[in-house]
Amino acid sequence: MNPSKTAELATPALLIDIDALEKNLSTMSTRHPDSKLRPHTKAHKCTEIARLQLSHSHTNFTCATPREIIGMAAAGVGSDFLLANEVLDAERLSALAKVSENVRVTIAVDSIETIKAAVRAGLRDVVIDVNVGLPRCGVAPELAGQLADTARKAGMTVRGVMGYEGHLMMVNGDEKRKKRVDESMTLLGRAAQDVGGEIVSAGGTGTWDMHDDTCINELQAGSYALMDTQYAELKIPFVQACFVLGTVISRSQDWLVIDVGLKSLTTDHGNPSVDGYDVLFCADEHTALVTKKDSAVALANIGEKLLVRPSHIDPTMSMHSAAWAMRADEILECWQIDLRGW
Ligand SMILES: Cc1ncc(COP(=O)(O)O)c(C=O)c1O
């Protein structure tokens, strides 16, 4: 079946509002044109969306998995890829080394082990991943220079540093967030001086407008393209462009149930949202909804379709094999979420 209207879709179905997506891409690329933005592909895992980011002047991409880089290179989208993640798997690193014969592949390292694994696989380019406060990957800032020396001695080209301030994305209040970002970026700036190289990479959607005067020369934002309800709380100028379409499959007098649940979106950032409704709870295949207090909206009928706004875009995208690009109720194209997997 080739559906032409969203009402014809089997649900749950992932929908992408193409005008909202375009608006987000152009807002971001106006502020961070060309190589000032290294869009993070992990937020959508879709080469069609990456192709649109390319058309907005971005040729350099951030990736979280070897699979993302390999898929992007095979699709001919982008020419310079940063794997902003630590990888030890020899087979995947060798596959990346093969890809690096045709496009530039730079991998983040934060230990002697990750350097050795990259060298063994035949990769040449690294950035030193610096911990700027998020308790995740990254070497302590004061050890970054030493690790860079180790990488150079092992024959690698050290292109610079990255330091993702993920712990600050949702800090409440612009001023507070900015102050904390400055503190984190001071750490990254010092590490960058010790390390050398041309790349100083950090940032995300929540700090997209807080780096004009920091040390970084590229922003790694990804969620801005499709957005989610958690980021919407920040009142940043990006709009919801991705929805999960559900069908009302059951209703009582007081609540209704749609066929969108934990198998088609995640709730790690809170429950999803549906206009006019409050979420009672999400289960594997179901979400139960009640109308908002004082809402004029009547409970939808069995068979009606409702748009659900995910609270966390990245893992939601990777639960679907395809997305329907649409305008109003018109389906324009079907896009494969082709960069899933590791
Ligand atoms: C290394 C890295 N850089 C950048 C980002 C930015 O992503 P977002 O646009 O979702 O804030 C992330 C998200 O988790 C990340 O892990």
For the chain, the structural domain boundaries read 6-14+237-336, 18-224
The ligand 1 atom at the shortest distance from the C-alpha of residue 314 is 10
221 ligand 1 Cβ < 6 A: yes
State pLDDT tens for residues 308-327: 999 999 999 999 999 999 99
How many angstroms from the chain centroid is the CA of residue 296?
36
State pLDDT tens for residues 205-262: 999 999 999 999 999 999 999 999 999 999 899 999 999 999 999 999 999 999 999 9
Is the pLDDT at 342 greater than 80? The verdict is yes
CATH class, range 6-14+237-336: mainly beta
Specify the residue with its C-alpha closest to ligand 1, atom 10.
223
State pLDDT tens for residues 79-116: 999 999 999 999 999 999 999 999 999 999 999 999 99
18-224 folds as TIM Barrel (3.20.20)
Identify the pLDDT of residue 53: 98
Identify the pLDDT of residue 137: 98
- What is the chain's percent helix, strand, coil content, to nearest 5? 35, 25, 40
CA 136 to ligand 1 centroid distance, Å: 12
40 ligand 1 Cβ < 6 A: yes
How many angstroms from the chain centroid is the CA of residue 136?
17
State pLDDT tens for residues 257-275: 999 999 999 999 999 999 9
- Rounded mean pLDDT, 7-22: 98
Q: Are 24 and 238 in contact (CB under 8 A)?
A: yes
Amino acid identity of residue 85, one-letter, is: N
Say if 6-14+237-336 and 18-224 have the same CATH topology.
Answer: no
